[in-house]
Amino acid sequence: MCFICHYDRDLSRPRAVATERLAVSGGGKNKIVEVDSIVVEVSHTAMAWRRLVATRQIDRPKLEIHQGITNRVQEVVIRTEVPISPMRFGDVVFSFQSE
């Protein structure tokens, strides 16, 4: 199951504050730069998702739609300054790409 929601409030300020905190901390102990992409696996609605994403995509994180057998978040790709091994939380893989 998947759903889309619209937030009633503008989230640009909290996002800017979080980005500033990340920058001030130097990305924390893992030297995180940003979330690069979120990979979503969809069973039979891939074309509809791709049309929706094409009209509403923001720079980062990029939403990637992959055809599959389930409907779920498959992977979160995080850019870092240092190499980090991938880790799994439930069904989601968090992978890290060092610059």
Total-model pTM: 0.71
Supply 33's token pair. 């730069």
Supply 11's token pair. 């989230």
Nearest to 60 by CA among 20, 15, 23: 15
- pLDDT tens digits for 51-76? 777 666 566 688 888 888 888 889 99
More confident residue, 87 or 6: 87
Report whether pLDDT(77) > 70.
yes
Q: Which domains does the chain have, with CATH numbers?
A: 29-98 (2.60.40.4320)
